[in-house]
Structure 1
């Protein structure tokens, strides 16, 4: 057998024997014994003895060194024995209770070496066992004190002591918790279950750990959802009670369950994929996904989403999706997918990356919406729009052409009617053309950018003055006014100023007031105001066909401004004022001029 052998440390023996004969015999015997090491006796009248495991002392030595022995025993954390060498036939009663309390065993003289060795070894073993017990208790104390969860020693339902975590949980120091019934901190409905838990506490912990029960604690002004377990310590009726504050975890689990149910019951298809697995497969689909595609959950799980593609799927859309996913960026596409039975459908797909706390993409979340009917209706409306615009333009050109001929009629009544017809026709053609311009800009889906509102106002005024040279337009403008807008802003500005020039009373005043968050464009004239039936454009109500009254110009302005996050307001307290509010651009260095 090989390996290191563990040597047992020698027992340190201190000899405080005053009798010269006994002292000489004992010292020689200790020195010759391999299991012991002799501790040199102290000088006379010392206050503290040197370190030892067993002290040999006779009556004279005991009387002389009693205080030093007592001081050593009190200062020692474990059992520190004292062996009295006593003359045969002498009684210990003569020592008195104070000295007798220092003695743990007696050996009589003349000394029998075997008996002496037995006494010393027995006392040394007791001391060694007491050190092991103290070490175990100290480890338990440190574990109890430093445990991250609240731990309490409870007897007869009252708290005896707590660790630091319990002090933090109860928001009180351990001393103020001592003697307080544990039930005082428990919600009324949970007190009876807690009592049963404590009454049935086991003497030993099961292999798979203690049995925890959920208990609501009321600590201060908050309710904590806790998991509680109890086990008997073996010290009478004392219990070790463990309290784990599970409020955050349980609330987190409830939120996750809520999110799961929300996704399961969502009105759109939801998928989650795992790019950490080969081919980025689907690991979750909700019921709506199955309704849209015809594939049940088991058929979809483990497959890449491309299984929905088919012969009518646009390769350009697929390429954009792949580039965005490879770049770990969000992406939205409308593409043709195919149901389980092969039927094509238009899928409005939104894909976004999901990251962990470190910013690493762990999953992709996908939303699917069947927009087949929406695409079809949009195409139908587009065709209808082209037909109507073509017919309106052609028919109204015929109407205005005849009206121009009738203006030369000899009958004044006919001329008056012809002029009204011509004005109405030209107004309708103008509105149609305005709507077409706005439609072209809005359908272009141009990106919002930083642009100078002052430049847009100057361009609008220059365009309007060519058609209304006799109407004075005054301005109050800063050097520049950077806003966030798109290509629809110039059309909104032209329509607003032209409406004041055409229908209001001069002069028309155009003013720009930049602010830290919003920039205001106000257009004021001295007219009687916008007809009341058109005031709905400035309210919060949803527009209806009957709301547009005589024209669509202001509605088009509102739609354009709201599309970029702005708003429109109106006032007729001092003339007629229409105000457009735009988001002020934070960075003025990239103004589009």
Structure 2
């Protein structure tokens, strides 16, 4: 580093004599300004560093010191340390080579203060003696070996200087540099506290024993003692590591404490393993205590089984037996509430396990000794196993409360037997509705008898295998829509047996849901209703013929009689009108009007009884007439409100819907004692709904629960015939609602 021509040079009286004297000394004199700038370098610097005094003068001394040996400004300049002092470091010489030098403070008086004569000459400047460590080859070789050994030590080694403010680091080995990630120039001159700084800039000096460790280090340094502590530190990249620090004081021959040597071991892996082991221990204990099973560890010592530990489930059971289970360790079985017989049972199985080395299984009950079928008894399945072979050996046990499982198993077996022996076919399927359809997972023997297939022949196949040409596609589409919505459905359609014969199958399908409410299976109950449907058709035909006969009798018999009576009464009225029998004439007229009203009612009843032939697009008008006739026939208020655009798919559909409304009206008026009835025909999305609502006494719960009379069964049958869904329910506020949801005819698109 070139020296500016006008660089200040420290001059004093007798300068030439001093230069000559210093040139003859083994040590070279340097004088520093308070800020560390070299204001004077004796000529002897050439012999040590190979550079002239002019190169040093005017420059900071630290600019020539090796970065790894340089003391940071935060620790203060070493030349300001209390006298006397001595330092060793490398300085840059000629050609950039590094030369080990020893720097000593100037002479002092007996009290350790600088000589008064030096004060008069130097003022606030500092005089240093620069010595070439290479002057003694043996010492140099020893020093080099010491430094190589220092860097080769596997531990992290540091040296601090107690004589400098803040006790800074003045020497670290290479392992410390590598382990912390900090270069030497960012370490030397700093207190070790910088390793406690977290990535967020805060100091880690409190939790998990850190504060106690730091307090111990401060106490030891304050008293000049040795100590050791476990510290949490942070590398330059922010990662945390643990080191176990051993601090040893270094003293001069006179006993003065000058330095501390810190030997550190990176124990991060050890601490992390310890923490992981502790975490696993806590997790295991948490699992142990939260397990629903009774779990514990016992030992067999001196012929007696005693507990070492038990989880909360086991302790709760012991407490329920009246035992004091607060201190479990060392407690005998009888001390924990075991009866003598129960304790003997457990001890026998512990010793069986010890003898065979295999787990020992047994079943017992709680309360101990109770009968297994007694109320509130808990059935326990117990497994004893060897936990540790030693002296005495340890055994673990797990006792599972299988009371509910046994009850569930019993109920499951009963249910399985009931399903298997049921007279009606029952199937369980998967939930897929797309091709090839839901798979059959289970079918009972009644299904095999009904369809003619063996159970193995249908497992894994779709129920669609039983459908054929006459199976109503509209019914299947309605069933699919309900299944996709996760709703139960009831329907019937023609199915086919294995021999190809067809029959009418009615089925009810309900969803099976898991704990999350998701549909996981479908269960279907089926029945062959061919004969019943045939019988119902025959009953309807007989009823229709009987209604026709009654209608003719009303029309041709009673109707003619009432008509004749009306004519006679009219004639009587004319005969008496204008005579002195005016009161009789008025009575004859009123009687004729009553007879005509009765005749109109008879005709209305006859119309209701006659066979009907309603066109699909006339269902709206037919229901309106039916409501008007019912109002007259039963002398009640009966109204109709409907959508005139709704059309029945066929005449048969229209007839069945009409008869359902007719039967519901008659039931409401005759049995429900209704005063007001409302008939409706409305749309509900893609479907239409026929409703009959009344304000009567309401349908009985027995009828709703399935105890239906002939009228309800007939209406349900007619609803099935049109592919509709039939529903009867209580009306809010009193009365009954009869509803049929069906698919109307699709409106034709205009060309």
What's the TM-score, normalizing by structure 1? 0.47
Structure number with greater CO (CA < 8 Å, separation at least 6) is 1
